[in-house]
Amino acid sequence: MTNTVFILNGPNLNMLGKREPGIYGGKTLDQIGDDCRDAGKEIGIDVDFRQSNHEGVLVDWIQEAGAAAKGLIINPGAYSHTSIAIHDAIRSVSPLPVAEVHLSNIHAREEFRHHSWVTAVATGMICGFGPYGYTMALHALAARF
Ligand code: DQA
């Protein structure tokens, strides 16, 4: 089994850098991807970093992770708060370890962000630490391999 971790990013995360920098910071998604690949290299993990604005594409990729990856990190963006399809896709790849990541602290924001359909089916959730949350999640998954 390879040491590949899929890192999936949902809608509007391709806008990082320009999008509400006061909330999400100034790093672009490409920079976060580079940071993740670097962090992965240090701990022997191949990172497959992707983004889509489409719910069904994210579902396809979660299923692909179930067959091809040792772990999954997902920032589902706004789909966290709405998507039973993503919740079900994660259940379908059990027992794949899954880390949910949010750049912002969703519990300190609007009430509609307080609930995530993903959290209950993830191994764990990290939020509020900006891009560093992805690196934390990589280390957390690696500790389980
Ligand atoms: C987010 C939080 C979500 O509420 C929001 O819809 C996003 C980004 C985060 O990383 O903080 O798109 O997932």
Its pTM stands at 0.98
9, 13, 20, 80: residue to mutate for ligand 1 pocket, most atoms within 8 A of CB: 80
CATH fold of the domain at 4-142 = Rossmann fold (3.40.50)
Domain ranges of the chain: 4-142
pLDDT at position 137: 98
* β-pairing verdict for 71-75 and 46-51: unpaired
Q: What is the pLDDT of residues 25-74, one digit of tens each?
A: 999 999 999 999 999 999 999 999 999 999 999 999 999 999 999 999 99
Using an 8 Å Cβ cutoff, are 97 and 86 in contact? no
pLDDT at position 74: 99
Question: Quick one: which of 6, 115, 99 has its CA closest to 51?
Answer: 6
Q: How far apart are CA 15 and CA 22, in angstroms?
A: 13
What are the structure tokens assigned to 104, written together?
A: 């912002």
pLDDT at position 2: 78
User: In degrees, to the nearest 5, what angle opens at C-alpha 12 toward C-alphas 71 and 52?
Assistant: 50
Q: How far apart are CA 145 and CA 131, in angstroms?
A: 23
Closest Cα to atom 9 of ligand 1 = 102
132 among known catalytic residues: no
Q: Does residue 12 surpass a pLDDT of 90? A: yes
CA-11 nearest atom, ligand 1: 12
Q: What is the pLDDT of residues 88-139, one digit of tens each?
A: 999 999 999 999 999 999 999 999 999 999 999 999 999 999 999 999 999 9
pLDDT at position 1: 52
> Which residue type is seen at 40?
G
